[in-house]
Amino acid sequence: MTELLYYNDAYLQEFDATVTAVDGDRVALDCTAFYPGGGGQLNDEGWLTVGGVRLRVAKVKKAGAGVWHTLVGTDGGLPEIPVGQPVHGELDWDRRYALMRTHTAMHILCGVVWRDYQASVTGGNMDPGSGRMDFEFAAMSRELVTEIEEKCNAEIAAARPVREQTLPREEAFQIPDLIRTKINLLPEGISEIRTIELVGLDLQADGGTHVHNTSEVGRMRVTDYKSKGAINKRIYIELG
Protein backbone atom coordinates (compact mmCIF):
# COMPACT_ATOMS: atom_id res chain seq x y z
CA MET A 1 0.00 0.00 0.00
CA THR A 2 1.25 3.48 -0.91
CA GLU A 3 0.41 6.41 1.37
CA LEU A 4 -0.98 9.19 -0.85
CA LEU A 5 0.84 12.28 0.35
CA TYR A 6 -0.75 14.50 -2.31
CA TYR A 7 -4.06 14.17 -0.49
CA ASN A 8 -2.47 15.19 2.82
CA ASP A 9 -0.77 18.23 1.26
CA ALA A 10 -1.20 19.09 -2.42
CA TYR A 11 1.60 21.67 -2.10
CA LEU A 12 4.24 19.12 -0.99
CA GLN A 13 7.09 19.32 -3.51
CA GLU A 14 9.68 16.90 -2.05
CA PHE A 15 9.47 13.78 0.10
CA ASP A 16 11.45 10.77 1.33
CA ALA A 17 10.20 7.23 0.77
CA THR A 18 11.22 3.58 0.63
CA VAL A 19 10.97 1.21 -2.34
CA THR A 20 8.43 -1.55 -1.65
CA ALA A 21 8.46 -3.32 -5.05
CA VAL A 22 10.40 -3.28 -8.34
CA ASP A 23 9.14 -4.27 -11.80
CA GLY A 24 11.62 -3.54 -14.59
CA ASP A 25 11.86 0.25 -14.88
CA ARG A 26 9.03 0.78 -12.37
CA VAL A 27 9.19 1.11 -8.61
CA ALA A 28 6.42 1.23 -6.00
CA LEU A 29 6.97 3.30 -2.85
CA ASP A 30 5.59 3.23 0.66
CA CYS A 31 4.45 6.85 0.17
CA THR A 32 4.40 9.35 -2.68
CA ALA A 33 3.58 12.96 -3.51
CA PHE A 34 3.31 12.10 -7.24
CA TYR A 35 -0.32 12.20 -8.41
CA PRO A 36 -0.94 9.12 -10.61
CA GLY A 37 -3.50 10.76 -12.88
CA GLY A 38 -7.26 10.41 -13.09
CA GLY A 39 -10.40 12.50 -13.41
CA GLY A 40 -9.01 14.22 -16.47
CA GLN A 41 -5.84 15.34 -14.65
CA LEU A 42 -2.52 14.10 -15.99
CA ASN A 43 -0.05 12.19 -13.84
CA ASP A 44 2.81 14.11 -12.24
CA GLU A 45 6.39 14.03 -13.46
CA GLY A 46 9.64 14.76 -11.65
CA TRP A 47 12.64 12.95 -10.21
CA LEU A 48 13.65 10.21 -7.77
CA THR A 49 17.15 10.25 -6.32
CA VAL A 50 18.27 6.66 -5.72
CA GLY A 51 21.69 5.98 -4.18
CA GLY A 52 22.93 9.41 -5.27
CA VAL A 53 21.62 9.03 -8.86
CA ARG A 54 18.84 11.43 -9.91
CA LEU A 55 16.39 9.67 -12.24
CA ARG A 56 13.53 11.13 -14.21
CA VAL A 57 10.00 10.01 -13.27
CA ALA A 58 8.22 9.90 -16.62
CA LYS A 59 4.97 8.20 -15.67
CA VAL A 60 3.01 7.46 -12.50
CA LYS A 61 0.14 4.98 -12.28
CA LYS A 62 -2.03 3.68 -9.46
CA ALA A 63 -2.66 -0.07 -9.41
CA GLY A 64 -4.77 -1.37 -6.56
CA ALA A 65 -3.42 0.09 -3.33
CA GLY A 66 0.02 0.85 -4.81
CA VAL A 67 1.44 3.67 -6.92
CA TRP A 68 4.07 2.79 -9.53
CA HIS A 69 6.71 5.24 -10.79
CA THR A 70 8.27 4.63 -14.21
CA LEU A 71 11.91 5.76 -14.27
CA VAL A 72 14.09 6.92 -17.15
CA GLY A 73 17.71 5.79 -16.84
CA THR A 74 20.87 7.72 -17.55
CA ASP A 75 23.18 6.74 -20.44
CA GLY A 76 24.30 3.78 -18.34
CA GLY A 77 20.72 2.65 -17.80
CA LEU A 78 19.00 2.27 -14.47
CA PRO A 79 21.00 1.43 -11.35
CA GLU A 80 20.06 -1.65 -9.38
CA ILE A 81 17.22 -0.69 -7.05
CA PRO A 82 16.54 -3.21 -4.28
CA VAL A 83 13.37 -3.39 -2.22
CA GLY A 84 13.96 -1.36 0.93
CA GLN A 85 16.06 1.25 -0.88
CA PRO A 86 15.52 4.79 0.48
CA VAL A 87 14.71 7.38 -2.20
CA HIS A 88 14.09 11.12 -2.36
CA GLY A 89 11.31 12.39 -4.59
CA GLU A 90 10.98 15.80 -6.26
CA LEU A 91 7.97 16.92 -8.25
CA ASP A 92 8.20 18.97 -11.43
CA TRP A 93 6.47 21.68 -9.42
CA ASP A 94 5.83 24.19 -12.23
CA ARG A 95 3.94 21.51 -14.14
CA ARG A 96 2.02 20.24 -11.08
CA TYR A 97 1.01 23.72 -9.93
CA ALA A 98 -0.19 24.57 -13.44
CA LEU A 99 -2.32 21.42 -13.35
CA MET A 100 -3.69 22.34 -9.90
CA ARG A 101 -4.67 25.80 -11.18
CA THR A 102 -6.18 24.31 -14.33
CA HIS A 103 -8.14 21.65 -12.46
CA THR A 104 -9.58 24.29 -10.14
CA ALA A 105 -10.45 26.43 -13.16
CA MET A 106 -12.40 23.51 -14.61
CA HIS A 107 -14.40 23.31 -11.38
CA ILE A 108 -15.13 27.03 -11.63
CA LEU A 109 -16.32 26.59 -15.23
CA CYS A 110 -18.41 23.57 -14.28
CA GLY A 111 -19.85 25.35 -11.25
CA VAL A 112 -20.85 28.46 -13.18
CA VAL A 113 -22.44 26.50 -16.03
CA TRP A 114 -24.38 24.26 -13.63
CA ARG A 115 -25.51 27.12 -11.38
CA ASP A 116 -26.63 29.48 -14.14
CA TYR A 117 -27.57 27.16 -17.03
CA GLN A 118 -28.20 23.73 -15.40
CA ALA A 119 -26.05 22.04 -18.06
CA SER A 120 -24.43 18.68 -17.22
CA VAL A 121 -20.83 17.82 -18.12
CA THR A 122 -20.46 15.26 -20.91
CA GLY A 123 -16.66 15.17 -21.12
CA GLY A 124 -13.44 17.04 -20.47
CA ASN A 125 -9.66 17.04 -20.55
CA MET A 126 -6.82 19.26 -19.37
CA ASP A 127 -3.17 20.09 -19.91
CA PRO A 128 -1.03 22.37 -17.75
CA GLY A 129 -2.59 25.81 -18.23
CA SER A 130 -5.37 24.84 -20.64
CA GLY A 131 -8.35 22.53 -20.94
CA ARG A 132 -11.67 21.82 -22.55
CA MET A 133 -15.03 20.79 -21.18
CA ASP A 134 -18.14 19.49 -22.94
CA PHE A 135 -21.62 20.43 -21.76
CA GLU A 136 -25.17 19.42 -22.55
CA PHE A 137 -26.14 22.63 -24.38
CA ALA A 138 -28.55 22.65 -27.30
CA ALA A 139 -27.00 25.84 -28.68
CA MET A 140 -23.98 28.02 -28.02
CA SER A 141 -22.89 31.45 -29.25
CA ARG A 142 -19.99 33.86 -28.87
CA GLU A 143 -22.22 36.01 -26.64
CA LEU A 144 -22.90 33.05 -24.34
CA VAL A 145 -19.28 31.98 -23.97
CA THR A 146 -18.24 35.61 -23.33
CA GLU A 147 -20.85 35.76 -20.59
CA ILE A 148 -19.56 32.47 -19.12
CA GLU A 149 -15.96 33.74 -19.23
CA GLU A 150 -16.91 36.92 -17.36
CA LYS A 151 -18.78 34.95 -14.70
CA CYS A 152 -15.83 32.56 -14.22
CA ASN A 153 -13.40 35.44 -13.77
CA ALA A 154 -15.75 37.00 -11.23
CA GLU A 155 -15.59 33.74 -9.24
CA ILE A 156 -11.79 33.75 -9.46
CA ALA A 157 -11.70 37.35 -8.20
CA ALA A 158 -14.08 36.41 -5.36
CA ALA A 159 -11.17 34.44 -3.82
CA ARG A 160 -13.33 31.52 -2.77
CA PRO A 161 -11.68 28.95 -0.45
CA VAL A 162 -11.29 25.44 -1.88
CA ARG A 163 -12.02 22.67 0.62
CA GLU A 164 -11.41 18.92 0.36
CA GLN A 165 -13.27 16.28 2.36
CA THR A 166 -13.60 12.49 2.27
CA LEU A 167 -17.03 11.14 3.18
CA PRO A 168 -18.63 7.68 3.50
CA ARG A 169 -20.36 6.82 0.24
CA GLU A 170 -23.86 6.89 1.76
CA GLU A 171 -23.29 10.33 3.29
CA ALA A 172 -21.70 11.74 0.14
CA PHE A 173 -24.61 10.71 -2.05
CA GLN A 174 -26.98 12.72 0.16
CA ILE A 175 -25.37 15.85 -1.35
CA PRO A 176 -27.56 17.21 -4.19
CA ASP A 177 -25.89 17.18 -7.62
CA LEU A 178 -22.72 15.53 -6.29
CA ILE A 179 -22.08 13.97 -9.71
CA ARG A 180 -21.92 16.59 -12.47
CA THR A 181 -21.05 14.30 -15.33
CA LYS A 182 -23.90 12.96 -17.45
CA ILE A 183 -22.77 9.43 -16.55
CA ASN A 184 -21.83 8.48 -12.97
CA LEU A 185 -18.18 7.38 -13.29
CA LEU A 186 -17.73 6.34 -9.64
CA PRO A 187 -17.26 2.56 -9.31
CA GLU A 188 -19.78 0.77 -7.12
CA GLY A 189 -17.08 -0.68 -4.86
CA ILE A 190 -15.77 2.66 -3.59
CA SER A 191 -16.77 3.03 0.07
CA GLU A 192 -15.49 6.61 0.52
CA ILE A 193 -15.98 9.60 -1.77
CA ARG A 194 -13.60 12.54 -1.90
CA THR A 195 -15.34 15.87 -2.48
CA ILE A 196 -14.07 19.27 -3.59
CA GLU A 197 -15.95 22.39 -2.55
CA LEU A 198 -15.45 25.86 -3.98
CA VAL A 199 -17.17 27.54 -1.06
CA GLY A 200 -20.28 29.35 -2.22
CA LEU A 201 -20.10 28.07 -5.79
CA ASP A 202 -19.61 24.35 -6.31
CA LEU A 203 -19.46 21.01 -4.50
CA GLN A 204 -18.83 17.72 -6.29
CA ALA A 205 -16.97 14.42 -6.19
CA ASP A 206 -13.38 14.62 -7.42
CA GLY A 207 -10.03 12.85 -6.96
CA GLY A 208 -7.47 15.35 -8.26
CA THR A 209 -5.29 18.09 -6.77
CA HIS A 210 -6.39 21.73 -6.49
CA VAL A 211 -5.20 25.11 -5.26
CA HIS A 212 -6.35 26.43 -1.88
CA ASN A 213 -8.19 29.48 -3.23
CA THR A 214 -9.79 30.41 -6.56
CA SER A 215 -7.66 33.57 -6.68
CA GLU A 216 -4.61 31.37 -7.40
CA VAL A 217 -6.12 30.33 -10.75
CA GLY A 218 -5.39 33.69 -12.40
CA ARG A 219 -7.38 35.07 -15.28
CA MET A 220 -9.29 32.54 -17.38
CA ARG A 221 -9.87 33.05 -21.10
CA VAL A 222 -12.31 31.13 -23.32
CA THR A 223 -10.28 30.60 -26.49
CA ASP A 224 -12.81 28.69 -28.60
CA TYR A 225 -16.07 26.75 -28.61
CA LYS A 226 -17.41 24.03 -30.90
CA SER A 227 -20.49 21.94 -31.46
CA LYS A 228 -19.77 18.24 -30.88
CA GLY A 229 -23.34 17.07 -31.43
CA ALA A 230 -26.98 18.09 -31.22
CA ILE A 231 -26.83 18.74 -27.45
CA ASN A 232 -23.08 18.57 -26.87
CA LYS A 233 -21.01 21.78 -26.94
CA ARG A 234 -17.30 22.13 -26.15
CA ILE A 235 -15.64 25.10 -24.43
CA TYR A 236 -11.86 25.59 -24.55
CA ILE A 237 -10.06 27.62 -21.87
CA GLU A 238 -6.57 28.92 -21.16
CA LEU A 239 -5.13 30.48 -18.03
CA GLY A 240 -3.13 33.70 -17.94
Give the domain CATH number at 26.
Answer: 2.40.30.130
User: What mean pLDDT is reported for the chain?
Assistant: 92
For residue 47, pLDDT over 80 is answered with: yes
This model's pTM is above 0.85? yes
Q: Do 47 and 85 share a domain, yes or no?
A: yes
* Number of domains observed in the structure of the chain: 2
Q: Are residues 185 and 209 in the same domain?
A: yes
Clarify whether residues 197 and 174 are in a common domain: yes
pLDDT over 60 (residue 184): no
| 2-36 tens-digit pLDDT | 999 999 999 999 999 999 999 999 999 999 999 99
Percentage of the chain beyond pLDDT 90 is 78
pLDDT, tens digit, 9 for 90 and up, residues 88-120: 999 999 999 999 999 999 999 999 999 999 999
Same domain, 108 and 193: yes
| Residue 178, domain CATH | 3.30.980.10
Lowest mean pLDDT among 57-71, 113-127, 164-178: 164-178
Phi first, then psi: what are they for 89, rounded to 5°? Answer: -105, 140
Does pLDDT of 187 surpass 80? no
Of 3-7, 66-70, 76-80, 231-235, the poorest mean pLDDT is in: 76-80
**Same structural domain, 19 and 125:** no
Relative to beta strand 3-4, strand 31-32 is parallel
DSSP state of 80: P
Q: Are residues 225 and 110 in the same domain?
A: yes
| Domain endpoint, select from 41, 69, 91 | 91
Cα–Cα distance, 130 to 238 (Å, whole number) = 4
Of 34, 65, 91, which residue is a domain's last?
Answer: 91
Residue where a domain terminates, one of 58, 73, 91 = 91
Q: Judge if 189 and 114 occupy the same domain.
A: yes
pLDDT the model gives residue 85: 97
Residues 46, 149 share a domain: no
200: alpha, beta or left? (left if phi > 0; alpha if psi -120 to 50): left
Range of the domain at 213: 96-239
Same domain, 46 and 163: no
Same domain, yes or no, for 186 and 161? yes
What b-and-e string marks burial along 171-180, b requiring 16 or more CB atoms within 10 Å of the CB? ebeeeeebbb
